[in-house]
Structure 1
Amino acid sequence: MTYKRIMLVGSALLATGALPLTMEAAETKGKADVQLINTDPEPSLKEAGFISLFDGKTLAGWTPRQGTMVFAVKEGEIVGTCSSGPSTFLCTDKEYTDFIFTCETKWAVDGNTGVQVRSRIRKGKGGDIVFGPQVEMEDLAKNGRGWSGGIYGQQCGGWLYPLKAPEHQPLKQAIDREGWNRMTVMVKGNVFKTWINGWPAANWVDGENEYPKGFIGLQVHGGKQGVIHWRNLRVKEL
């Protein structure tokens, strides 16, 4: 079973030309757990083709989904504030397929957050439910786990790419706990790669191509606290 799973993942990567240099494989609850390592440099963010997703004054082009937490524009930044209730997502009205997305994030009050990519909406009993891959920006209280830049399956199975390999250790020191942190995401074909402050993080393959297209969304996680700021939100379609 392990051998077949690795070959399937490898075939998918070969089809996209994205096979990395190193690979981990381990058995978890009877299933193969293959983790591919991102060894690529962060894409150049100065190249032509990037457009801003935020005009610095309004939330034009964005719509809040799922919960009731408030997103507002303050001093040229998007600010999301945690309150009671489920996680809330500020989502682009436009959907994207292959792209590079980058933004800067800062915690004014510690709380969990992340960025949805190629995500969608399904209807639940209480209304809209956001689901799809989320690039994690982990709340600072998680005692050094350092999984910012990992990929979490929001409402679709939990962790898709936890940052647990030895190669991910530098990411534990990558986060500026007081200032701004740059997230970069490149999604091309069925390969999702991430960088945090220039450090390579995730290299996840959507083996079943379950998430071929969708919106980008900023999360404020449900809980007791959290005030998150974003700025310099840009995207380049590939």
Structure 2
Amino acid sequence: MTAIRVLLVDDHDLVRMGFRTILESEPGIEVVGEARDGAEAILRAAELAPDVVCMDVQMPGMDGLEATRRIVAERSARAVRDAPGSAATGPGVLVLTTFDRDDYLFAALDAGASGFLLKNASPEKLVDAVQVVAAGDALLAPDVTRRVIERATSEREAARPADARLHDLTEREAEVLRLLARGRSNAELAAELWLGEATVKTHVSKVLLKLGLRDRVHAVVFAYENGVAVPGDAA
């Protein structure tokens, strides 16, 4: 099995060393490079083609949020050039920060990050987060999901019509979107819908493509903003 290639971005040498030690102790994960700021991260991401970029937020020069925005934009542009109409592929960005602040959380998500993890998380959670992002999923920890839902529903106008793109979904794809909004993993989707995981991944990709969404995090936001799911839905 091909190892997950990780790029570490943080302006503190000791932090990068700690992350490298944790990740490289896990079979199947390889740290292929490091960067000390956002500008260097963009260059290294283009040079090394990692599967996951572990990105700090506050750094001198270009911060992690702007670097995330540019890495994701380049990933999307490359997808358009290489395979028009296909979903974007390339590095997923896992934002790591010591600051448990909503402005950082939502700025990271708006920039296109696929995950958000506090630096005081356990080593096991860091490894799991890297594996989740590398698999093309998004990290939806319960507290993050709750805050995303609260913002999406508070900003939704009750009288606003649902997004017309919802009509492009098949019945099965609409069901997949509803379950994504409840935080289901691919394995859970497969079990609940009596489908193989490969089929589930195809459905998820089609949902994201038809709705023009970056990843599962944005699918959750979209679902709550458009009334596909509401707080209190059955788990």
The TM-score normalised by the length of structure 1 is 0.27
Q: Select the structure that is richer in helix.
A: 2
The TM-score normalised by the length of structure 2 is 0.27
Larger RCO (CA within 8 A; separation ≥ 6): 1
